[in-house]
Amino acid sequence: MDSSIASYVLQYSGYLIEGGLLLYLGWTKQWKKQRGIIFYLTALLVAELGRTYALYKYGLHSLQYFYVYWSTDFPLVLSAFLLVWLFFRRACCQEEKMWRSIRLILAFAFLLVAGISAATLSRNQNSLFSFFTVEFSQNLYFTCLVLNTLLYILLQQIQSTDEQLGLLVCGVGVQFAGPAAALALDYLTRGEQFAQSLAASIIRLCTLGMLLVWGYAITHVKASKVNQNPVLAEVTID
Amino acid sequence: MLVAVLILILSTALFFFYFQVACQRILSRQFDREYFQSIANANRLEFPSLRKSLEEFGAPLDYSRLRMMLKCDFLALTYLLKNAANVNQRYSHEERLLILYFRWQFLSLALRRLLRLGENKAILKLTAVLQYFANVVGQRVNAVKFGNLTAADYLLNL
């Protein structure tokens, strides 16, 4: 009983913060500047509302809920990838040369994951919505996590003055690392009840953690317009 | 199977890393002046002296007393955060996150003690959180005005 109440609290606080952040971004007219965040938050909210509707209509153990859950997970991970892409773009807004190389690496990483996933799909056609979907989501989450970590390292390397982006990246790291670990645990335990409920709680907690960090970053930290980096500027000129 | 184990280990490590970095970035916020000292004096909080003794002499007090001091300061400051000059009477986003961070560091302090890894680093992190909370409380109290007086002037005139 207590755990289900805690789960509801986590779930609904997540919705409230997501909606609140979207309203705040709209209110302060940051639609264009924070388009990555708005896109991801909208995807998250739509996916979660769809899941909640399916949960109430069909029940937790129904096949319909299972399909809705994993079907919404795929676009959600894709939007996560797009978010990381847009963060990379923001980090390299003053470095067109660097952005051209990074864009190629990102495209290659996406194709690689798609290729590996397609190979796994061809071997698991009969169990598309069972272990495969968990593994597929886990791989994509992990790829986004690795890319996000590379972005974090890049920000340190170029000594970025965009404090807000640094915090947003940390929030994304929390959001991706938790679910990747939880889904890996779920996969390793072959869908044990304990691991599944733990994964569900961790995913909600991490989303809430990301929203809290983002909330702070958006409301308290100003995004820098110009990336003042004399060291990198010199390197680029050379 | 091996890939899943690797993902589990790396993701868990990265989760804690990002959580820590996010909290450290929030803690690095610069206040227009240091409010924490007056709040600590007014409420007889012990974390500034604890931090000073640790930075100057490198050796903390006995462990049970230290835990008690940190816990009491934490309880006092979280109460003040929620109730002192706070119209909404609730924690903000970053305060909730830092409360979680404090609890995690508190647990890590116990673990470090158990494994004999040296507690100083964890204690300094805990006092940094308390200092941030005291600064936030101080800033809020300073902003509240009673007529033409600030809260501090008002208290002095009583």
pLDDT at A236: 41
Q: Which residues of B touch A138 (CB under 8 A)?
A: 4, 7
Q: What is the pLDDT of residues A171-198, one digit of tens each?
A: 999 988 888 888 788 878 876 777 777 8
Does A177 reach chain B within 8 Å, measured CB to CB?
yes
**CA A205 – CA A11 distance, rounded (Å):** 9
Q: Which residues pair with B150 in a beta bridge?
A: B145
Does B26 reach chain A within 8 Å, measured CB to CB?
yes
Q: Where along chain B do its domains lie?
A: 2-157
Q: Which residues of A touch B15 (CB under 8 A)?
A: 173-174, 177-178, 181, 206
pLDDT at B147: 54
Q: Which residues of B touch A220 (CB under 8 A)?
A: 29, 94
Nearest to A71 by CA among A54, A56, A58: A54
Strands (E), A17-163: none
**CA A140 – CA A176 distance, rounded (Å):** 10
A61 or B80: whose pLDDT is higher? Answer: B80
Q: What is the pLDDT of residues A25-55, one digit of tens each?
A: 888 888 778 888 999 999 999 988 888 888 8
**CA A167 – CA A74 distance, rounded (Å):** 25
Mean pLDDT of A195-221: 85
The amino acid at B78: T
DSSP-derived 3-state class of residue B150: strand
Does B110 reach chain A within 8 Å, measured CB to CB?
no
pLDDT at A235: 41
Domain A2-222 has CATH 1.10.3470: no
The amino acid at A203: I
A23-30 contacts, C-beta under 8 A, 24 or more apart: A24/A218, A24/A219, A25/A218, A30/A218
Cβ separation of B11 and A178 shorter than 8 Å?
yes
- HSE-up of residue A222 (Cα within 13 Å, Cβ side): 4
pLDDT at A238: 39
* Residue ranges of chain B whose pLDDT lies below 50: none
Cβ separation of B7 and A138 shorter than 8 Å?
yes
Indicate the burial class of A89 (C-beta count within 10 angstroms; 0-12, 13-18, 19 or more).
middle
Cβ separation of B93 and A219 shorter than 8 Å?
yes
pLDDT at B99: 93
Please check the confidence at residue A97 and state whether its pLDDT lies above 60.
Answer: yes
Q: What is the ipTM of this complex?
A: 0.77
CB contact at 8 A, B47 and B133: no
Nearest to A232 by CA among A95, A101, A96, A104: A95
B147 or A217: whose pLDDT is higher? Answer: A217
Q: What is the pLDDT of residues A141-172, one digit of tens each?
A: 788 888 999 999 988 888 888 888 888 999 99
CB contact at 8 A, A46 and A64: no
A7 CB contacts (<8 Å, ≥6 apart)? A200, A201, A204
pTM listed for this prediction: 0.79
**CA A123 – CA A135 distance, rounded (Å):** 13
Does A209 reach chain B within 8 Å, measured CB to CB?
yes
pLDDT at A231: 42
Does B158 reach chain A within 8 Å, measured CB to CB?
no
Q: Which residues of A touch B20 (CB under 8 A)?
A: none
CA–CA min distance A151, chain B (Å)? 12
pLDDT at B118: 75
Q: Where along chain A do its domains lie?
A: 2-222
**CA A109 – CA B115 distance, rounded (Å):** 41
pLDDT at B154: 55
Q: Which of the four pLDDT bands, split at 50, 70 and 90, describes residue A227?
A: very low
Cβ separation of B8 and A184 shorter than 8 Å?
yes
Q: Which residues of A touch B26 (CB under 8 A)?
A: 167, 216
Q: What are phi and psi of B58, to 5 degrees?
A: 75, -5
Encoded tokens for B134? 């005291």
Does A143 reach chain B within 8 Å, measured CB to CB?
no
Please check the confidence at residue A226 and state whether its pLDDT lies above 50.
Answer: no
Cβ separation of B11 and A206 shorter than 8 Å?
no
According to DSSP, residue A12 is labeled H
Please check the confidence at residue A129 and state whether its pLDDT lies above 70.
Answer: no
